[in-house]
Amino acid sequence: MTPDLESLYPRIGQRLLDVAGEPFARGYARVEMGDDFGSVGLFIDRGDGGFAYLTDDDGDLFELFAALRERCVAAGLGAWSTATFALQGSGQFSIEFGHDDISDLGQGPQRRAAWVRRVLGAEAQVRWAN
């Protein structure tokens, strides 16, 4: 990774903290992004045995991930289509990129359900936003 890319990670983490709004045990940003479309959803574990699903209504997280994707391309790392940004309450974070085919937007709910099973666990209880 380059310093230009790495400079975005703390900004992404801070925005996740800002959207979550209160202390949490761990949080995840699930990203799907193409050249002209994308989505970001947050899953926040407040230590109560479930995950709250949140969205960043301001779009700031989307813009940060779009910038990250652009910088990955500019650095010769290629364009990823999925990302999982994990942030622990302690401030420790990790990011995982994927290159899955996300062109079928109608399959988005199925991809999200598969992500929940893989990352949060098959028994994860998600409280979806209204």
Give the chain's domain count: 1
pLDDT of residue 104: 93
Question: Which CATH number does the domain housing residue 91 bear?
Answer: 3.30.500.20
The domain containing residue 115 runs over which residues? 3-127
pLDDT (tens digit per residue) in 26-74: 999 999 999 989 999 999 998 888 999 999 999 999 999 999 999 999 9
Residue from 80, 48, 60 nearest 14 by CA: 60
In the numeric block, which tokens belong to residue 32?
A: 């799907």
DSSP 72-129: HHHTTS---SEEEEEEETTS-EEEEEE------GGGHHHHHHHHIIIII-TT--EE--
Give the chain's mean pLDDT. 92
Q: Which helix (H) or strand (E) holds 51?
A: strand 51-54
